[in-house]
Amino acid sequence: MNGHVKSMCCPRFMELATSKFLFVAVSSNQQCGNLQPTLKLTRLVQKESVDLIKTYKAAQGEMSELFCKVPINNVPDPNISGLESSERIASIYTNLQAFLAHLKRVYEQQLDLQLPTSTLLSKLHQFSTFSGNLAGRVSGLYQTLFPNLPVPEPAGPTTLPPPQNVFQQKVYGCVVLKIYKEFLSNVLQELRTVKSQVCRRAELNAPFF
């Protein structure tokens, strides 16, 4: 009887163990695969931010090199917060949402300062679109990596500056773009770290039979 139970038990146990192993392997591979396009888009947006700052400065006239050095308040922190990976990805997402609001304000201000044919306006619009796509990618990545956790939402509405004069608008735009560029560099580094961990786990869980 014991031998019969053993012969019935072990194949069933092996079947369940193999199914669980394959599920983990597929899940890890999916997570690794979803990271790559997010990382690629982050590289693109970060690269575009460098070029955009140059275009922004060129469009502001005299003293443009000084604009980015003036300290201002109410701009999101470029650093990523949190200890756990889930907290850090959530921090990236919520900060992206905040920066999107500031980018929109910068674009609105520059509409009043630039000619309709300005290269800066078209680049700001395209850059905001890329950034919105990145926020969507990060949201999807969060749901893939942490399917049992709720999608993070901003704690409250983003604080934007009150009405500003022309000089203040030029300073504000430059500082927002500069800090956002720093943030994107931090995001790129963070996603590279996550990718190395997740894809390494996928390699370890890969079936070998």
> Which fold does the domain 30-201 belong to in CATH?
Growth Hormone; Chain: A; (1.20.1250)
Domain boundaries, the chain: 30-201
CB proximity list for 188: less than 8 A, separation 6 or greater: 39, 42, 43, 46
Q: Rounded CA gap, 77 and 183, in Å? A: 8
Dig out the tokens for 43 from the structure: 């590289």
> Please, are residues 164 and 104 in contact by the beta-carbon 8 Å criterion?
no
Q: Which residues contact 94 (CB under 8 A, 6 or more apart)?
A: 152, 153, 154, 155
Q: What is the pLDDT of residues 94-144, one digit of tens each?
A: 999 999 999 999 999 999 999 999 999 999 999 999 999 999 999 999 999
> What pLDDT, in 10s, does the model give residues 60-89?
988 888 888 888 888 999 999 999 999 999
Q: Which residues contact 5 (CB under 8 A, 6 or more apart)?
A: none
- Is the distance from CB of 180 to CB of 53 less than 8 angstroms? no
Rounded average pLDDT over 17-24? 38
Residue 90, C-beta contacts closer than 8 angstroms, at least 6 positions apart: 82, 142, 152
